[in-house]
Structure 1
Amino acid sequence: MKVLGRLTSAHSRIISAIVWLFVGAQTLPDMFFEKTKLNASKCYDTTSDVFVEDYLTYSIIRTMTGFCLPFLITLGCYTHVIMKLCSSRAADTDCLLKRRCLKLLLVLILLFSVCYIPYHILRNLNLWVRVLTKKNQCYSWFNTVYVAHQVGRGLVCLNPALNPLVYLHVSEELSTGIKTLRTQAHLLVSRISLTPALEREIH
């Protein structure tokens, strides 16, 4: 709130450029890791077993800087907004609007956490399993980690599809509008289906 009005469009462009450069610097090393076997019989979304130790180190660093840091910043911003909404007076903020905003923020935080935190943890854990396997160490929980990692990848893909549904569900006005349209459609269908019966009775 304190910086409201102080950030110009030039500041926004500079910040955006810095963020994109930071993201590019994070993802650039991934291009230099081997992604296929020598005979191209197998592809990896991470790297081959030859460089898996180095990739695990890189993945942990990228998780800390590319996920944990932005997540903490986002969580801090959301928490600040929630505190502002909770401390605002009813005269300043409409109670219904405040409740909608709080619900939306809490659901978004929960959804983001459920979809992304397991993915990053299990991704690095799965890489560690590959490191142990390379050292001829085998444990019964390796398969569980692999299956859980695949589930985590699915949750990440599901997140962009769930976000619009969250906005749809949380927005009470939109939900009410949809219910009204559904009722009107039901009445229209009922009238159409009753019309032939009434005509037969008249004739």
Structure 2
Amino acid sequence: MAMTPHDTLVLAVYLFAFLAGLPANLLAFYTFLVKVRKKAAPIDILLFNLTISDVILLLFLPFKMMEAASDMTWPLPAFLCPLTGFCYYSSIYISTLFLTAISVERYLGVAYPIKYKLNRRPAYVIVASFFFWLLACSHCSIVYIVQYQMPELNETDLNPTNVSKCYERFSPNQLEILLPVRLELCITLFLLPFFISLFCYVNLIRILTSLPNIQARRKQRAVGLAVVTLLNFAICFAPYNISHIVGFIQNQSPTWRVYALLLSTLNASLDPAIFYFSSTAIQRTFSDCFTGVGCKLQALMPSCYQLCLPCCEAERDANGVDRSSLSNMGELPPERLGRGR
């Protein structure tokens, strides 16, 4: 059966997200795992959980690729349909929660440096992380409720033409359950986290730009982190969650919802940019990785290597210490600490 343009687009997006996101996220996963095992700082725990969420989504993408390549029919065993949907949607909302937690951690480290340094504990972040996973997974369990509590209405079952669909079309009775849950998902797991992140980053930038003794490069990193995170919310998460609002108003799933969901899938390939702005360890790891690739290129294609080399080095100060990241944003100069609120 020939693939339609719709199926081709879906497959292309899934393939791009998988190829672009999996290597970077696995590299970040290893880096944060080493850091957390050695010395667990709150930001490292948050970034580690965000990486786990992205890796889970990416590992289940091949199942979605097979679905797209099969004319949006489900070619795999039936039990993998709800499992894939559960992990897929849970990962999306877990990402919004941890992105918000990172924004709060950054803001507290700058706005209340003394209090934050005295009171931050890895145990607090571990408890919060467990709560985020529980909150997102409990909401997304609606996939299993539709699958097993309403079996007579389940579109995953074989239809008269012997074509199996996975969580794609819904009956009116299913929509009575799904649409209110989706609206609640939008409010609880998107709108609230988005406005919290917006508040934190706007105020973080305002505080940093008012301090003349902060390096210009660190201010640029702060702006970069804020812009990447808010764009992530706006591009990857907003369209999909807006479809929940539209669907609730229209009492049906919007036809364009599948395209909005594709944007959410791209989040897993964009998060490594947030890792880069947030952690010196990631900067060093990426730099070492690119340097290694550059050495291979130098041996194979010397002219290509000259183009890649300038991008591979991290910024270091006169003492050889990397100051280009926001991972130590809370460690402001003594003048700022003296003004801690």
Q: Tell me if both proteins adopt one fold, taking TM over 0.5 as the criterion.
A: yes
Class of the TM-score when normalised by the shorter of the 2 chains: 0.5 to 0.7
TM-score (norm 1): 0.64
Provide the residue aligned with 1:75 in structure 2: 198
Structure 1 stretches of 4+ with a deviation exceeding 6 A read 166-169
How much is the aligned-residue C-alpha RMSD, in angstroms? Answer: 3.6
The Cα offsets for residues 43-85 of structure 1, whole Å up to 9 and x where unpaired, read as 3257543221221111101211111112222222222321222
User: CA 1:78 to 1:159, structure 2 compared with 1: closer, same or farther past 3 Å?
Assistant: same
> Do structure 1's residue 151 and structure 2's residue 259 form an aligned pair?
yes
- Does 2:232 match 1:114? no
Aligned to 2:302: 188
* Higher RCO structure, 1 or 2 (CA under 8 Å, sep 6+): 2
The runs of 5 or more residues in structure 1 that have no matched partner are 133-141, 191-203
Higher helix share: 1
Can you give the 5+ residue segments of structure 2 that lack an aligned partner in the other structure? 1-108, 160-164, 278-282, 305-341
1:1-203 map, 5 Å: 1=109, 2=112, 3-33=116-146, 34=150, 36-37=154-155, 39-41=157-159, 42-45=165-168, 47-89=170-212, 91=213, 93-126=214-247, 129=250, 131=251, 145-146=254-255, 148-164=256-272, 185=298, 188-189=302-303
User: Percent identity, aligned pairs only?
Assistant: 22
Corresponding letter in the other structure for 1:149: R
Q: Tell me the SS of whatever aligns to 1:4.
A: helix
8 Å CA contact retained: 1:46, 1:55: no
- Residue by residue over 1:25-53, the C-alpha shift from the partner in whole angstroms, topping out at 9 and shown as x without a partner, is 32334421247238533332575432212
Q: Which has the larger radius of gyration?
A: 1
Contact residue 119 and residue 153 of structure 1 kept, 8 A: yes
If the length of structure 2 is used for normalisation, what is the TM-score?
0.41
Please list the CA deviations of residues 124-167 of structure 1 after superposition, one character each: whole Å capped at 9, or x if unmatched.
Answer: 424655x36xxxxxxxxx9xx51x32221111112222343677
In the aligned structure 1, how far is the partner of 2:118 from the partner of 2:170? 46
- Counterpart of 1:160, as a letter, is A
Q: How many residues align?
A: 168
